[in-house]
Structure 1
Amino acid sequence: MKQICVFLGFLILMSCEYFNVKKTSSDAILKEELQTFNWNEVDEYPSFPECDSAISKQKRKQCFEYVLTTHITRFLQKDTIVVTQNIEDTLLLQLQISEKGELSVLHIKVDSLTSQEIPNIKDLLLHGLDSLPKIFPAIKRGQQVKTEFKLPVIISVN
Protein backbone atom coordinates (compact mmCIF):
# COMPACT_ATOMS: atom_id res chain seq x y z
CA MET A 1 0.00 0.00 0.00
CA LYS A 2 2.88 2.32 0.84
CA GLN A 3 4.42 1.66 -2.55
CA ILE A 4 1.15 2.52 -4.30
CA CYS A 5 0.86 5.82 -2.36
CA VAL A 6 4.48 6.70 -3.17
CA PHE A 7 3.87 5.82 -6.84
CA LEU A 8 0.67 7.93 -6.96
CA GLY A 9 2.44 10.82 -5.25
CA PHE A 10 5.24 10.58 -7.80
CA LEU A 11 2.72 10.61 -10.67
CA ILE A 12 0.97 13.67 -9.23
CA LEU A 13 4.25 15.57 -8.93
CA MET A 14 5.20 14.65 -12.49
CA SER A 15 1.81 15.73 -13.84
CA CYS A 16 2.15 19.17 -12.20
CA GLU A 17 4.56 20.05 -15.00
CA TYR A 18 1.56 20.12 -17.35
CA PHE A 19 -0.07 22.80 -15.26
CA ASN A 20 2.88 25.19 -15.32
CA VAL A 21 1.83 28.33 -17.15
CA LYS A 22 4.40 30.35 -18.97
CA LYS A 23 4.06 33.94 -17.89
CA THR A 24 4.05 36.40 -20.79
CA SER A 25 4.48 40.11 -20.20
CA SER A 26 2.26 42.68 -21.85
CA ASP A 27 5.36 44.12 -23.54
CA ALA A 28 6.06 40.77 -25.19
CA ILE A 29 2.46 40.53 -26.40
CA LEU A 30 2.61 44.08 -27.76
CA LYS A 31 5.93 43.40 -29.49
CA GLU A 32 4.53 40.26 -31.12
CA GLU A 33 1.36 42.08 -32.20
CA LEU A 34 3.33 44.99 -33.71
CA GLN A 35 5.33 42.57 -35.83
CA THR A 36 2.14 41.23 -37.43
CA PHE A 37 1.08 44.69 -38.70
CA ASN A 38 1.59 45.66 -42.31
CA TRP A 39 2.87 49.19 -41.70
CA ASN A 40 2.72 50.04 -45.41
CA GLU A 41 -1.06 49.66 -45.59
CA VAL A 42 -3.82 51.52 -43.78
CA ASP A 43 -7.36 50.36 -43.09
CA GLU A 44 -8.81 53.60 -44.49
CA TYR A 45 -7.03 56.10 -46.70
CA PRO A 46 -7.18 59.83 -46.01
CA SER A 47 -10.30 61.34 -47.49
CA PHE A 48 -12.26 64.48 -48.18
CA PRO A 49 -15.91 64.95 -47.17
CA GLU A 50 -17.07 64.35 -50.76
CA CYS A 51 -15.37 60.93 -50.73
CA ASP A 52 -17.46 59.60 -47.83
CA SER A 53 -19.96 57.99 -50.20
CA ALA A 54 -17.29 55.74 -51.75
CA ILE A 55 -17.82 52.25 -50.42
CA SER A 56 -14.60 50.37 -51.12
CA LYS A 57 -11.14 51.22 -49.85
CA GLN A 58 -9.81 51.53 -53.41
CA LYS A 59 -12.64 53.86 -54.49
CA ARG A 60 -11.97 56.13 -51.49
CA LYS A 61 -8.29 56.27 -52.42
CA GLN A 62 -9.11 57.13 -56.03
CA CYS A 63 -11.59 59.78 -54.91
CA PHE A 64 -9.00 61.34 -52.58
CA GLU A 65 -6.37 61.48 -55.33
CA TYR A 66 -8.90 62.84 -57.83
CA VAL A 67 -10.10 65.64 -55.51
CA LEU A 68 -6.52 66.59 -54.64
CA THR A 69 -5.35 66.62 -58.27
CA THR A 70 -8.44 68.46 -59.49
CA HIS A 71 -8.05 71.12 -56.82
CA ILE A 72 -4.39 71.74 -57.73
CA THR A 73 -5.18 71.80 -61.46
CA ARG A 74 -8.01 74.30 -61.04
CA PHE A 75 -5.82 76.53 -58.90
CA LEU A 76 -3.01 76.50 -61.47
CA GLN A 77 -5.45 77.21 -64.33
CA LYS A 78 -6.59 80.43 -62.62
CA ASP A 79 -3.13 81.94 -63.07
CA THR A 80 -1.84 83.10 -66.42
CA ILE A 81 1.52 81.45 -66.94
CA VAL A 82 3.69 82.84 -69.73
CA VAL A 83 6.47 80.63 -71.07
CA THR A 84 8.93 80.89 -73.95
CA GLN A 85 8.74 77.17 -74.81
CA ASN A 86 6.10 74.49 -74.52
CA ILE A 87 6.20 72.57 -71.27
CA GLU A 88 5.04 68.99 -70.83
CA ASP A 89 6.18 67.81 -67.43
CA THR A 90 5.07 65.62 -64.57
CA LEU A 91 5.84 67.08 -61.17
CA LEU A 92 6.05 64.77 -58.20
CA LEU A 93 4.68 66.02 -54.90
CA GLN A 94 5.68 64.14 -51.77
CA LEU A 95 2.97 64.87 -49.23
CA GLN A 96 2.27 63.99 -45.62
CA ILE A 97 -1.07 64.05 -43.83
CA SER A 98 -0.82 64.14 -40.06
CA GLU A 99 -3.00 62.30 -37.55
CA LYS A 100 -5.03 65.52 -37.31
CA GLY A 101 -5.60 65.79 -41.07
CA GLU A 102 -3.03 68.56 -41.65
CA LEU A 103 -1.33 68.42 -45.04
CA SER A 104 2.34 69.27 -45.41
CA VAL A 105 4.58 69.15 -48.45
CA LEU A 106 7.78 67.20 -47.87
CA HIS A 107 9.29 67.61 -51.33
CA ILE A 108 8.41 68.84 -54.81
CA LYS A 109 10.34 67.31 -57.70
CA VAL A 110 10.39 69.64 -60.70
CA ASP A 111 12.32 69.30 -63.96
CA SER A 112 14.97 71.96 -64.54
CA LEU A 113 13.27 73.24 -67.72
CA THR A 114 9.99 73.70 -65.85
CA SER A 115 11.79 75.51 -63.02
CA GLN A 116 13.49 77.77 -65.53
CA GLU A 117 10.28 78.59 -67.43
CA ILE A 118 8.03 78.86 -64.36
CA PRO A 119 10.33 79.93 -61.50
CA ASN A 120 7.45 80.28 -59.04
CA ILE A 121 5.90 76.85 -59.75
CA LYS A 122 6.63 75.56 -56.24
CA ASP A 123 5.01 78.62 -54.67
CA LEU A 124 1.97 78.20 -56.92
CA LEU A 125 1.61 74.57 -55.86
CA LEU A 126 1.97 75.43 -52.18
CA HIS A 127 -0.67 78.17 -52.43
CA GLY A 128 -2.98 75.76 -54.23
CA LEU A 129 -2.65 73.25 -51.41
CA ASP A 130 -3.39 75.92 -48.77
CA SER A 131 -7.02 76.19 -49.86
CA LEU A 132 -7.87 72.47 -49.76
CA PRO A 133 -11.08 71.37 -48.04
CA LYS A 134 -10.88 69.55 -44.70
CA ILE A 135 -8.95 66.29 -44.86
CA PHE A 136 -9.84 63.27 -42.74
CA PRO A 137 -6.66 61.39 -41.76
CA ALA A 138 -5.94 57.76 -42.56
CA ILE A 139 -7.00 55.10 -40.08
CA LYS A 140 -5.06 52.03 -38.97
CA ARG A 141 -6.67 49.64 -36.46
CA GLY A 142 -9.15 52.29 -35.35
CA GLN A 143 -6.51 54.99 -34.77
CA GLN A 144 -5.85 58.07 -36.86
CA VAL A 145 -2.34 57.79 -38.30
CA LYS A 146 0.16 59.88 -40.24
CA THR A 147 0.56 58.94 -43.91
CA GLU A 148 2.96 59.88 -46.67
CA PHE A 149 2.38 59.53 -50.37
CA LYS A 150 3.55 60.79 -53.74
CA LEU A 151 1.20 62.52 -56.11
CA PRO A 152 2.11 63.13 -59.77
CA VAL A 153 0.85 66.43 -61.23
CA ILE A 154 0.97 66.88 -65.01
CA ILE A 155 1.87 70.38 -66.22
CA SER A 156 1.11 71.24 -69.81
CA VAL A 157 1.70 74.83 -70.94
CA ASN A 158 1.68 75.87 -74.60
Structure 2
Amino acid sequence: MFKKLFIVLFYSLLVVSCTYFENKWERESIQVIDTVVDFNTVDAFPLFPNCKDIPSREKQKICFQIEIAQHIYASLKEYQLNATEIVNDTILVKLKVNVLGRTSLSEILISDKTKEQLPEFDSILKVSLQNLPTLKPAIKRDMPVTTEFTLPIILKN
Protein backbone atom coordinates (compact mmCIF):
# COMPACT_ATOMS: atom_id res chain seq x y z
CA MET A 1 0.00 0.00 0.00
CA PHE A 2 2.79 2.35 0.90
CA LYS A 3 4.49 1.45 -2.29
CA LYS A 4 1.43 2.36 -4.43
CA LEU A 5 0.92 5.58 -2.49
CA PHE A 6 4.56 6.49 -2.87
CA ILE A 7 4.46 5.84 -6.66
CA VAL A 8 1.28 7.91 -7.10
CA LEU A 9 2.75 10.73 -5.02
CA PHE A 10 6.02 10.57 -6.89
CA TYR A 11 4.34 10.71 -10.32
CA SER A 12 2.03 13.54 -9.30
CA LEU A 13 5.00 15.57 -8.03
CA LEU A 14 6.87 14.82 -11.24
CA VAL A 15 3.98 16.00 -13.41
CA VAL A 16 3.43 19.16 -11.35
CA SER A 17 7.10 20.02 -11.28
CA CYS A 18 7.53 19.59 -15.06
CA THR A 19 4.54 21.80 -15.67
CA TYR A 20 5.94 24.38 -13.27
CA PHE A 21 9.28 24.57 -15.07
CA GLU A 22 7.66 24.53 -18.48
CA ASN A 23 5.58 27.62 -17.69
CA LYS A 24 8.56 29.37 -16.17
CA TRP A 25 10.73 28.74 -19.25
CA GLU A 26 7.91 29.81 -21.51
CA ARG A 27 7.50 33.13 -19.68
CA GLU A 28 11.21 33.88 -19.85
CA SER A 29 11.56 33.20 -23.57
CA ILE A 30 8.80 35.57 -24.66
CA GLN A 31 10.34 38.99 -25.19
CA VAL A 32 9.42 41.88 -27.39
CA ILE A 33 12.45 42.81 -29.44
CA ASP A 34 12.39 45.78 -31.78
CA THR A 35 14.41 44.52 -34.74
CA VAL A 36 12.64 46.29 -37.57
CA VAL A 37 15.07 48.87 -38.93
CA ASP A 38 14.17 51.12 -41.84
CA PHE A 39 17.41 51.56 -43.78
CA ASN A 40 15.89 54.14 -46.13
CA THR A 41 15.53 56.86 -43.50
CA VAL A 42 17.76 58.41 -40.88
CA ASP A 43 16.92 60.09 -37.61
CA ALA A 44 19.14 63.10 -38.40
CA PHE A 45 20.61 64.19 -41.73
CA PRO A 46 24.28 65.02 -42.29
CA LEU A 47 24.82 68.61 -41.24
CA PHE A 48 27.11 71.47 -42.12
CA PRO A 49 28.46 73.33 -39.06
CA ASN A 50 26.04 76.26 -39.51
CA CYS A 51 22.97 73.96 -39.85
CA LYS A 52 23.38 72.06 -36.58
CA ASP A 53 21.53 74.63 -34.42
CA ILE A 54 18.30 74.37 -36.42
CA PRO A 55 15.74 72.47 -34.29
CA SER A 56 13.46 71.06 -37.00
CA ARG A 57 14.54 67.90 -38.83
CA GLU A 58 12.92 69.02 -42.09
CA LYS A 59 14.59 72.45 -41.93
CA GLN A 60 17.94 70.77 -41.25
CA LYS A 61 17.49 68.73 -44.41
CA ILE A 62 16.69 71.87 -46.42
CA CYS A 63 19.70 73.66 -44.90
CA PHE A 64 21.95 70.75 -45.88
CA GLN A 65 20.62 70.73 -49.46
CA ILE A 66 21.07 74.50 -49.84
CA GLU A 67 24.58 74.48 -48.36
CA ILE A 68 25.86 71.68 -50.57
CA ALA A 69 24.28 73.20 -53.68
CA GLN A 70 25.82 76.61 -52.91
CA HIS A 71 29.24 75.09 -52.29
CA ILE A 72 29.24 73.11 -55.54
CA TYR A 73 27.86 76.07 -57.52
CA ALA A 74 30.59 78.34 -56.11
CA SER A 75 33.26 75.78 -57.02
CA LEU A 76 31.95 75.33 -60.56
CA LYS A 77 31.72 79.09 -61.02
CA GLU A 78 35.50 79.40 -60.52
CA TYR A 79 36.19 77.37 -63.66
CA GLN A 80 35.57 78.25 -67.28
CA LEU A 81 33.50 75.48 -68.80
CA ASN A 82 33.71 75.86 -72.56
CA ALA A 83 31.43 73.89 -74.84
CA THR A 84 31.27 74.07 -78.64
CA GLU A 85 27.54 73.31 -78.68
CA ILE A 86 24.59 74.23 -76.49
CA VAL A 87 24.46 72.15 -73.32
CA ASN A 88 21.10 71.70 -71.65
CA ASP A 89 21.37 68.67 -69.39
CA THR A 90 20.82 67.44 -65.84
CA ILE A 91 23.71 65.58 -64.28
CA LEU A 92 23.03 63.31 -61.31
CA VAL A 93 25.82 63.22 -58.76
CA LYS A 94 25.73 60.47 -56.13
CA LEU A 95 27.47 61.58 -52.96
CA LYS A 96 28.35 59.61 -49.86
CA VAL A 97 28.85 61.04 -46.36
CA ASN A 98 30.65 58.52 -44.16
CA VAL A 99 30.47 58.07 -40.38
CA LEU A 100 33.34 60.53 -39.93
CA GLY A 101 31.50 63.25 -41.91
CA ARG A 102 33.73 63.12 -44.98
CA THR A 103 32.03 63.53 -48.33
CA SER A 104 33.06 61.45 -51.32
CA LEU A 105 31.85 61.01 -54.85
CA SER A 106 30.15 57.66 -55.53
CA GLU A 107 29.04 58.10 -59.12
CA ILE A 108 28.32 60.72 -61.78
CA LEU A 109 25.46 59.99 -64.17
CA ILE A 110 26.18 62.15 -67.20
CA SER A 111 25.08 61.78 -70.79
CA ASP A 112 27.68 60.93 -73.41
CA LYS A 113 27.00 64.16 -75.30
CA THR A 114 27.58 66.31 -72.20
CA LYS A 115 30.68 64.31 -71.29
CA GLU A 116 32.01 64.92 -74.78
CA GLN A 117 31.30 68.66 -74.53
CA LEU A 118 32.68 69.03 -70.97
CA PRO A 119 35.33 66.31 -70.46
CA GLU A 120 36.83 68.04 -67.41
CA PHE A 121 33.52 68.33 -65.52
CA ASP A 122 33.98 65.23 -63.36
CA SER A 123 37.48 66.23 -62.23
CA ILE A 124 36.25 69.75 -61.35
CA LEU A 125 33.43 68.20 -59.35
CA LYS A 126 35.83 65.92 -57.48
CA VAL A 127 38.00 68.90 -56.52
CA SER A 128 34.98 70.88 -55.31
CA LEU A 129 33.89 67.96 -53.10
CA GLN A 130 37.37 67.71 -51.59
CA ASN A 131 37.02 71.32 -50.44
CA LEU A 132 33.80 70.61 -48.53
CA PRO A 133 34.11 71.07 -44.77
CA THR A 134 33.81 68.01 -42.53
CA LEU A 135 30.13 67.43 -41.85
CA LYS A 136 28.35 66.04 -38.85
CA PRO A 137 27.35 62.54 -40.06
CA ALA A 138 23.79 61.28 -40.31
CA ILE A 139 22.37 59.63 -37.20
CA LYS A 140 20.32 56.43 -37.00
CA ARG A 141 19.36 55.08 -33.56
CA ASP A 142 21.88 57.39 -31.86
CA MET A 143 24.76 56.09 -33.99
CA PRO A 144 26.55 57.80 -36.88
CA VAL A 145 25.85 56.10 -40.20
CA THR A 146 27.03 56.43 -43.78
CA THR A 147 24.47 58.00 -46.08
CA GLU A 148 24.26 58.30 -49.82
CA PHE A 149 22.15 60.75 -51.75
CA THR A 150 21.76 62.06 -55.28
CA LEU A 151 22.29 65.71 -56.15
CA PRO A 152 20.99 66.92 -59.53
CA ILE A 153 23.10 69.57 -61.28
CA ILE A 154 21.41 71.42 -64.13
CA LEU A 155 23.74 72.68 -66.85
CA LYS A 156 22.64 75.36 -69.28
CA ASN A 157 24.68 77.66 -71.49
Q: TM-score range by the shorter chain?
A: 0.7 to 0.9
Deviation at 1:129, TM superposition (A): 0.9
Q: 2:43 is paired with a residue of what secondary structure?
A: coil
Q: Find the counterpart in structure 2 of residue 107 from structure 1.
A: 107
Cα distance in 2 for residues equivalent to 1:143 and 1:136: 12
Greater C-alpha Rg: 2
Q: Distance in 2 between matches of 1:115 and 1:131?
A: 23
- 1:3-152 alignment, distance < 5 Å: 13=17, 16=20, 17-21=22-26, 24=29, 33-34=34-35, 36-152=36-152
Number of paired residues?
A: 148
The answer to whether the 8 Å contact 2:76/2:125 transfers is yes
Deviation, structure 1 residue 15: 5.9
TM-score, length of structure 1 as denominator length: 0.80
Q: Percent identity?
A: 29
Give a deviation string over 1:79-121, Cα, whole Å, max 9, x none: 1222222212111011111111111111101112211111100
Per the TM alignment, residue 63 of structure 1 is displaced from its structure 2 partner at its CA by 1.0
What is the Cα deviation at residue 66 of structure 1?
A: 1.1
**How far apart in 2 are the matches of 1:121 and 1:108?**
10
> What residue identity is the alignment partner of 1:48?
F
Deviation at 1:13, TM superposition (A): 4.1
Structure 1, unpaired ranges of 5+ = none
The Cα RMSD (Å) is: 2.7
Choose 15-24 or 87-96, whichever is displaced more. 15-24
Distance verdict in 2 for CA 1:116–1:15, change over 3 Å? closer
